[in-house]
Structure 1
Amino acid sequence: MKVNKIFLIGTTASNLYLFRKDFIISCIEQGHQVFTLVSEYDDVWLDKIKSLGAEVITYGLSRSGLNPFKDLKTLLQLREIIVEHQPDLVFSFFTKPVIYGSLAARLGKVPNVIGMIEGLGSPFTDHPTGQSLKMKLVQFFQVSLYRIVFPFIDKIIFLNDDDPKDLIISKKIYHRKDAIHVLGGIGLKLEDYPYSPWDTSSNISFVIVARLLIEKGIYEYLAAAKIVKEKYPNACFKIVGSLDTKNPSGLTQDELDNVIQSGVIEYKGFTNQIAEELKNSSVFVLPSYREGVPRSTQEAMAIGRPIITTDVPGCRDTVIDSVNGFLTPKWDVNALANKMIYFIEHPEQINIMGQESYKMAQEKFDAEKVNVKLLRIMGICN
């Protein structure tokens, strides 16, 4: 397929730079002209994207809003931009860009339209108390829009095998023949997360890297940490990530303050030094309810840390149980605590399983390999 001009339609400029940088560079090295479309941005991140050699176009999008008139305005604006620039291929990712970016591309007569569903998100995530009415409604509207747009998309890319089953097969959504592809994790530039065996002379520490949301398993992590701490007071439990006070499922500031004051955890907050935090921890923990393929877990694997995570879509793609870590049932605090205790009582397994994590990261999550696979799926690999 001859492609000269590629549109990448995302949301936040920071996200696009951090998670698409290597892909953008790969496209440019293949001789393609890349335009990135972002809806949330500041000059710092826009300049970072431009430094890669890509053009930047801004547009309006309400990521979590349910106002159909605003979404229609987004659709029309994207169509206008597409008609003006006449791209050969439009590649959108995340729910709303896939829906409205793909529709705009078809209305603008773009010959190649590709969408990536990186995870089904909150509307498809089970909670121990059940889904809220709002999330049920959001899922209904999302599925309805996917029914409209999927027949117009040439290739629909997922990160794990569960998501197309739970979305397309379960909801019986019509799509083009041979449109569905599974990429696996988006991948990492592995040299940014160099392998570093755990220092066996250090106290054993556990770390979660995530926004402090219910769906990330933050409450299960805190509850399990409390159980383990009572039995092994020297064990350390770290949290790396920021509060999301605008999200109704987020940990509140008061809850976080109480946990910090209790002495159960060390709160590191948001940091750009993720690799260093992972290097200084023994075991990575992510008791999430559902993921695409979690990047933070891939980072921990590359550095050589064993993983404790849940047996749910996305998370289960990062662990071979009892080889590079453990899979636990979702919401099961006692099972999570028991696996933490296992590493305290068998510290020699930390580097043994961590080495297996490192091998898996090399095989599955090397950005160079992943980008070649993605370019081939898109049909633009020279």
Structure 2
Amino acid sequence: MRFLMIASYADSLIAFRGPLIAALQDKGLEVHIAAPDLPAGHQVRAALESRGVVVHHVPLQRTGMNPLADARTLLALHRLMRRVRPACVMSYTIKPVIYGMLAGWLARVPRRFALITGLGYAFREDSGRSRLRAVVQRLYALALSRAHTTFFQNPDDEALFRRAQILPAGKRSCIVNGSGVDVASFEVAPLPDDGPRFLLIARLLGDKGVREYAEAARRIRARGAGARFSLVGWIDASPDAIAQDELDAWVADGTVDFLGRLSDVRPAIAGCNVYVLPSYGEGTPRSVLEAMAMGRPIITTDAPGCRETVVDGDNGLLVPVKSVGALEQAMMQLIEDWEQVVRMGQRSRQIAESKYDVRKVNAVMLREMGFE
């Protein structure tokens, strides 16, 4: 039996979907991957093929709304499915979901599954995005009407899709606890005791709260608190991307220690004693799950996806979206109370094991897709 997974971003296949791919193979499925930017010799392609995965290149632009380019994507996916003849197709992120579900329906793939990993730039509340949001919602509704099950990573996103009738009435949906985290690979690391050490890992986008993080860091440094603020990530191709000169200014004045893009974030997490993600909304943030598994308290926003990971006052602190003052206050609270940092870090690990273990998350997905 052949299973086709469609993605828009090559690096997510190993980092986010690797355990699911392995679980599907363990069930005896022949796994195929369709994604852009995976030429022969690409590191991710080589890693997938070494695991017995069949990789297919498809033309797909992650950002932008170019009708001709998107039509080529739909046609390419349809042709691929007619050739491969998968029994199941699953796609995640906006364009793979939209064009993957439509192509799967046209190619008469027997089972079709969509995974909503977050709402993305088009759904943010901004008057300048209303037209884009309307177009994306219509396309989503058309595509999800062709899916057999739509997976969500938090209840807020599911409720929004139901309320806005993006997910048609009567269509099946299932909430899973994010992409999960391999709690064996992300082991507890001792908390550094040489002063407050904060960390944010994210694509450098405004919607990730990177600017709020930098401003809160600047204010706390001005207090003379002796804290350090690390930033891991890269400037992504997005209308919402942080400008290079902004990043350069933060580094030049010592606001943040920029560590760049890391293939392995575990040393960075081990080097912090508090993890921060001031995002405007997520599916379920993978970086938070990794930090929780390594025993770190979390400061994040009371926003969809983010709020699911933190019990306020238990394993971390929740702050309002876009509130630099509240973020600064939360950071200062943990700077001034080391015992709370230790206790919250221990609770984070316990929650990661009980709720977010990738094996438990994948078991739910496999069962819903009919493989258990």
TM-score w.r.t. the length of structure 2 is 0.96
> What residue is the counterpart of 1:45 in the other structure?
44
DSSP 3-state at the match of 2:71: helix
1:191 to 184, 191, 204: 184
Give the distance between the partners of 2:295 and 2:197, measured in 1 at CA: 14
Q: Is 1:12–1:41's contact at 8 Å kept on the other side of the alignment?
A: no
Residue number in structure 1 paired with 2:338? 347
d(CA) in 2 for partners of 1:377 and 1:111?
15
Checking the alignment, whether the CA contact within 8 Å between 1:188 and 1:365 is kept in structure 2 is: yes
1:100 paired with 2:135, answer no
CA distance in 1, matches of 2:224, 2:58: 52
CA distance in 2, matches of 1:353, 1:116: 31
Aligned to 1:91: 90
Distance 1:175 1:206, change over 3 A: same
Code of the residue aligned with 1:14 in structure 2: it is D
For 2:336 and 2:294, the matched residues in 1 are separated by: 22
Please report how far the alpha carbon of residue 300 of structure 1 lies from its aligned counterpart in structure 2 after TM superposition: 0.5
Structure 1 counterpart of 2:230:
238
1:41 and 1:232, CA in 2 relative to 1: closer, same or farther beyond 3 A? same
Alignment deviations for residues 197-231 of structure 1 (CA, whole Å, 9 cap, x no partner):
3133x111111111221111111111111221122
CA shift, 1:176, in A, is 6.0
Q: 1:145 aligns with which of 136, 139, 142?
A: 139
Residue of structure 2 in register with 1:249 after alignment = 240
Q: Quick check: 1:365 aligned with 2:362?
A: no
Q: Whole-Å Cα distance in 1 between the matches of residues 364 and 248 of structure 2?
A: 45
Give 2:250's aligned residue. 259
Aligned equivalents of 1:113, 1:380: Cα separation in 2: 14
Q: Extract unaligned runs of 5+ from structure 1.
A: none
Cα distance in 1 between the residues matched to 2:37 and 2:132: 22
CA shift at 1:368, angstroms?
Answer: 1.1
Superposed CA offset, 1:53-83 (max 9, x none): 1111111112213121221221122111111
Q: Secondary structure at the match of 1:215?
A: helix
Does the 8 A contact of 2:9 with 2:62 survive in 1? Answer: no
Alignment check: 8 A CA contact 1:197 1:351 kept: no
Q: Distance in 2 between matches of 1:225 and 1:5?
A: 49
CA–CA separation in structure 2 for the residues paired with 1:205 and 1:85: 50
C-alpha displacement at 1:178, in angstroms? Answer: 5.1
Q: Which runs of 5+ in 2 are unaligned?
A: none
Q: 1:203 aligns with which of 180, 188, 195?
A: 195
User: Residue 215 of structure 1 contacts residue 289 of structure 1 at CA under 8 Å; is this kept in 2?
Assistant: yes
Q: Which amino acid aligns with 2:175?
A: V
Instruction: Determine which of 201, 206, 217 is the counterpart of 2:209.
Output: 217
Q: Is 2:76 aligned against 1:80?
A: no
Aligned equivalents of 1:12 and 1:249: distance in 2? 17
Q: Deviations over 1:110-133 (max 9, x none)?
A: 11111111111111123xxxx152
Look up the equivalent residue of 1:229 and give its one-letter code: R
SS of structure 2 residue aligned to 1:192: coil
Q: Relative to structure 1, is the Cα distance of residues 210 and 174 closer, same or farther in structure 2, using a 3 angstrom cutoff?
A: closer
- For 2:46 and 2:261, the matched residues in 1 are separated by 22
Give the structure 1 partner of residue 294 of structure 2. Answer: 303
TM-score by length of 1: 0.93
| Contact persistence 1:151–1:176 (CA under 8 A) | no
1:28 CA drift (Å): 0.6
Structure 1 vs Structure 2 CA RMSD? 1.4
